[in-house]
Amino acid sequence: MEILTRHYDVLEKRILSSLAANDLRHRTINCSGLWLGPLIGLSALITFLKEDTSYSEICLLTGIAGGSLVISCICLYTRLMTANVAAKDFHVVYFLPAIMLSTLFLLLANKGLLVSVTWGLTVGSLSTWGVIQLMSNLPGCFTLGEATAVMHGIVLFLLSTFTNLPLRYHLPPIHDNDIATAILQVIILYILAICMLCANFPKLRGPTQFYLLVIGMLLVIVLPALHIILDQSPVLWILSFVFSTSDRILLLLYWAGCLFIASVAVVFQVLRNSQATTSVRKIFHVLAVMVYIPGLIWQPTFLYLASGVVLTLFSLIELLRILNLPPLGSFLQDGFSLFADEKDSMISLTPLYLLSGLSATLWMPTESMGLLPLMSGVLTIGIGDTAASLVGSHWGKHKWMESEKSIEGTIACVVSQLIIIFGLATFGYVESTSLLVRSVCSVILVSLVEARTEQVDNLALPFLMYLCLTF
């Protein structure tokens, strides 16, 4: 183990030196988070391998792509480890995952040659060279592992979206989950397009031009496109879906109450003009747990739809802050300056990471996932990380070696998650004793990682827990 650790440290130092030599500003000085990079691809691959014979085409394609993303990590890290490398250039080694993915799409997914090669080149380029471009355009926002995970998530989203939407054009979705998926894919593409347009065309960053762009694209492109894909009005379907049962109405009112509490907390902090402490920031984690647990147990499709809509709204709000657009721009900037922690830079990634970490398992292309894997994000960052921060900041006296995190916080992290897991087992939500034992071991392992890592917990821990519970 010591030999592996020593080799990892040497590899990490070479890569950090290479990034610095190429003027790629890293979020941390000493920790690149290489282990985080392959987690997205491994999660997609394991999701597919755990499916039965009735898996969907999207699950097959994202599973194959997940394996290719792991190879992409190896190629990227190997290239960055080379001395005097021009990191921002496209290198021949990046064709390896492209060739692999093209071949597998052609042989296993029965895609045509043109489609297979197109996706192979797209995924191979974005998952390697695209990571470097992301770090170049957003300096200081990511470690290498975080940038890799974010870009790989974007790659899988684009792959699933451009596979699903043409299919739905020819065969309109019937089931609620399929309709929600199509709606979310279109609106997330919509917000990505707005971000790209504003980044490349400065004239669109003015208030009038921006709001015309947002409203115009929504009315002229998004809603008509969804109407064609769904063969019905998306707005009427959402209203019908939400208000068709009393359970959803009550859950919506409950969520609205949680949102009101969160909004009051933000406004109160801004009016006080006081820097938010760790305890104050963890209020949002507690509220997230209150939102997600009832949703995952009783209304997962409703929560799935709501999580995608909130992700879109978060992205739009962050864009308003960055561009400092009235009427909310200055208020949002005040809130950012008070709530930002050491892991936020020019972009407020913490709330986006929190939402993505909580929702990642919901967004995976499978309908056969058990409750505990679905709750990977809730357990790790909603419950465990919150307990660790609160206990560690108030009563943590014994620190881990070479770390600011406390042993007391880690114990709280483990115990809090085990209380929830055994509570779920008591009510019959844990399928088997073997899963219960695996859950206990997973909680201990992930809690130890939480105590030692410098990576963003909201991004790393949910995927690590998911892999431990499903592998």
Q: Where exactly are the structural domains of the chain?
A: 1-171, 172-236
Coil, helix or strand at residue 391: helix
Convert the pLDDT of each residue in 104-126 to its tens digit.
999 988 888 999 999 999 999 99
Helix (H) or strand (E) holding 333: helix 329-339
pLDDT confidence of residue 2: 65
Burial of 383: CB neighbours in 10 Å, binned 0-12, 13-18, 19+:
buried
- DSSP element (H, E) containing 451: helix 433-452
Rounded to 10 degrees, the C-alpha dihedral 69/70/76/79 comes to -140
Residue with tokens 């988070």: 33
Tallying the residues shown for the chain, one arrives at: 471
pLDDT for res 53? 64
- Name the token pair of 237: 């379907």
Q: Structure pTM?
A: 0.93
DSSP track, 180-222: HHHHHHHHHHHHHHHHHHHHH-GGGGSHHHHHHHHHHHIIIII
Residue 362 phi/psi, 5-degree rounding, is -65, -35
List the chain residues with pLDDT less than 50.
none
Q: Smallest Cα–Cα separation from 168: which of 237, 231, 235?
A: 231
